[in-house]
Chains A and B, each alone.
Chain A
């Protein structure tokens, strides 16, 4: 098929107007080369190299210090995401590698590191789409939170029971279908009846800011999963659901 002479009145490729140079240099270099390797593996998504890098770093460093470097690496990944250099797959790949790094370090310590807080994640009753939940869970875990994953098709009563059992700082919910997201409202109402004012952060294809704004406890998680960790950090610091909503949804 022969191309037309001029497509400029048919399509404008706005994505090509302002291309960014990819800077994955990883920020300031560390003095310890083995720690720099850990940083590079996580920032650059080098899954094959992480085990050797962590083991090398552990030879001369305390596991908690190695974990600190891994956390700094995830912060760098977050910066690259914020500036538009990294896309979600790179963030998730780095999160996967971070979790592997943590596993090795915690194995060395003989104990799990203290989590920043517990979060209950779920997909509401009637909905079986779990991709969004799995992305949120991976990112929260990589950022140091413990996630109680209730799975899919979860009745509101079960969410409330999980909240009573685990005392989370936040609840995360994802829904793909409009016919199922009413579960979030039901969950919020049941929680309030029990006096449990836990921030309920929800997202997914069906969910909108307007919908979540109409539910007490409700916070809209956004178009992608990357706001989950910053919101969780605020919740861990004691922010109320109203304060988190004000900060992220205004």
Chain B
């Protein structure tokens, strides 16, 4: 494994939406991070449409046509479509492949007729069951890889996944606010699983001439974020979710170290940190993903984005037409404003306005502001001896940043969480092997079906 040892940017001030050090150009002339921001629309089929291949292909045709029609109808220059697999599309690789091929044909039609720029991301579903199977060689891995290959051969331009390695530990530990388990589940096990699967995904992408795009810690850090909720939330502390997010950056980075090029997955809220380290283009979601979930950084998370996403919207009728049409319009107008500011030489002003909107809304937003994301990224690359050490360093830096800014107000309970979590993090072993030994022994007793061999341990 080859861990990152330097930052792609000299300073946080260089980071801005629309431009990445390593832009990705694919599909029909779509260049992500090449000087402007594009929308990424994620349509989601209705439950009944997932009943057969014929129905799901038909549903996607309607959805994509609605999206492309409104994009041309309102004069937007380009759009990326994400085909985020429902389980049937991965477990039946030919379903996902046919949807991808059909989507490519539609994009080609609009490109030829109007010059509309476009590309497709296929996100394969990860159904592996770490407590029950060999996740490296079991049947779920097998048909995941088959689905990647099938989509790559049938029109997909970028390959992604929301991988779940380490989730069996992090799920147990997030709801108990056990930072050691979160560091182990995300920082160590998650990273090791990423190393394994992304070497394979990159191989498949390279063989088929498509882009290995990126991953997200949705299955872990986003669980913490969703459970922390809004200000009414009583499930998980917001500060705790912030620590989980910082750790997740060290884990999601592994895909890029294996050869992923971006754009990252939309729900990888840790992406600003990834961009600061790698210079790869990123996708983010915020206010326009309110159709799928809330977050406390709806504007801030756009500050350094390259693809702006709606996460997922189910195909339903609204007053103005279908939901996918509506959200394609919302996203596209957002990107039009960002691109206007780029053209007017005012991008960094808009970026800073986005940041200030949410900087002190919540600690989770606070650490993803470009200047703080850069600090956490620096801590990661400066502690590159092991996955564990850099993940722990990321968490410690996040804690230091939260403690140092008096404008970030925290409740007494959240302040207590900050203090005790930092004390715990500081008490953990320095060396990865010692930490792993301790954790394997401890968590095997609690989660009796935990299989360390799934992670090469």
- The reply to whether the CB of B371 lies closer than 8 angstroms to some CB of chain A is yes
Flag B170-195 by CB within 8 Å of A: 1 or 0 each. 01100111000000000000000000
A224 touches B129 (CB 8 A): no
**Chain A residues within 8 Å of B411, by CB:** 15-16, 19
A window 85-133: CB within 8 A of B: 87-89, 92-93, 96, 126, 128, 130-131
Instruction: From B177, B356, B358, B409, give the contact of A89 (CB < 8 A).
Output: B177
> Shortest CB–CB separation between residue B446 and chain A, in angstroms?
9
Q: Chain B: which residue is nearest A84 at the CB level?
A: B234
Given contacts A134-B171, A179-B86, contact A96 B176 (CB under 8 A): yes
Interface bracket on A: 35 or more
Instruction: From B47, B231, B236, give the contact of A15 (CB < 8 A).
Output: B231
**Chain B residues within 8 Å of A134, by CB:** 171-172, 175
A11 touches B407 (CB 8 A): no
- The reply to whether the CB of B16 lies closer than 8 angstroms to some CB of chain A is no
Report the bound CA distance from A175 to B360 in whole Å: 33
Report the bound CA distance from A181 to B50 in whole Å: 13
Query: Interface-forming stretch among A1-9, A142-150, A166-174, A195-203?
Result: A1-9
Q: Chain A: which residue is nearest B47 at the CB level?
A: A179
- The reply to whether the CB of B127 lies closer than 8 angstroms to some CB of chain A is yes
Flag B220-234 by CB within 8 Å of A: 1 or 0 each. 000100110001101
A135 touches B175 (CB 8 A): yes
> Shortest CB–CB separation between residue A224 and chain B, in angstroms?
6
Report the bound CA distance from A205 to B371 in whole Å: 33
Report the bound CA distance from A130 to B361 in whole Å: 30
**Chain A residues within 8 Å of B359, by CB:** 1, 3
A13 touches B231 (CB 8 A): yes
Given contacts A1-B369, A126-B87, A128-B127, contact A13 B47 (CB under 8 A): no
Report the bound CA distance from A22 to B416 in whole Å: 11
> Shortest CB–CB separation between residue B378 and chain A, in angstroms?
16
> Shortest CB–CB separation between residue B193 and chain A, in angstroms?
16
- The reply to whether the CB of B357 lies closer than 8 angstroms to some CB of chain A is yes
- The reply to whether the CB of B457 lies closer than 8 angstroms to some CB of chain A is no
Q: Chain A: which residue is nearest B173 at the CB level?
A: A89
A16 touches B409 (CB 8 A): yes
**Chain B residues within 8 Å of A61, by CB:** none
- The reply to whether the CB of A46 lies closer than 8 angstroms to some CB of chain B is no
> Shortest CB–CB separation between residue B228 and chain A, in angstroms?
10
A10 touches B356 (CB 8 A): yes
B window 355-376: CB within 8 A of A: 355-361, 369, 371
Report the bound CA distance from A16 to B88 in whole Å: 45
B176 touches A93 (CB 8 A): yes
Q: Chain B: which residue is nearest A7 at the CB level?
A: B360
**Chain A residues within 8 Å of B360, by CB:** 3, 7, 11
> Shortest CB–CB separation between residue B260 and chain A, in angstroms?
24
A window 1-40: CB within 8 A of B: 1, 3-4, 7, 10-11, 13-16, 19, 22
> Shortest CB–CB separation between residue A55 and chain B, in angstroms?
19
A179 touches B50 (CB 8 A): yes
**Chain B residues within 8 Å of A4, by CB:** 356
> Shortest CB–CB separation between residue B85 and chain A, in angstroms?
11
Instruction: From B232, B357, B412, give the contact of A19 (CB < 8 A).
Output: B412
Report the bound CA distance from A178 to B412 in whole Å: 37
A224 touches B176 (CB 8 A): no
> Shortest CB–CB separation between residue B92 and chain A, in angstroms?
13
Q: Chain A: which residue is nearest B237 at the CB level?
A: A87
Instruction: From A96, A152, A182, give the contact of B47 (CB < 8 A).
Output: A182
Q: Chain A: which residue is nearest B238 at the CB level?
A: A15
- The reply to whether the CB of B352 lies closer than 8 angstroms to some CB of chain A is yes
Report the bound CA distance from A181 to B87 in whole Å: 14
* Residues of chain A having any CB pair with chain B under 8 Å: 1, 3-4, 7, 10-11, 13-16, 19, 22, 81, 84, 87-89, 92-93, 96, 126, 128, 130-131, 134-135, 152, 177-182, 205, 224
Closest 7 pairs between A and B when the two form their complex, measured CB to CB: A15-B231, A89-B177, A88-B235, A179-B47, A11-B361, A131-B171, A87-B234
* Residues of chain B having any CB pair with chain A under 8 Å: 45, 47, 50, 86-88, 127, 129, 171-172, 175-177, 223, 226-227, 231-232, 234-237, 240, 314, 352, 355-361, 369, 371, 407, 409, 411-413
21 A-B residue pairings within 8 Å (CB atoms):
A1-B355, A1-B359, A3-B360, A4-B356, A7-B356, A7-B360, A11-B360, A13-B231, A13-B409, A81-B234, A87-B237, A87-B413, A88-B235, A89-B235, A89-B237, A89-B240, A93-B177, A126-B87, A134-B172, A177-B86, A179-B87
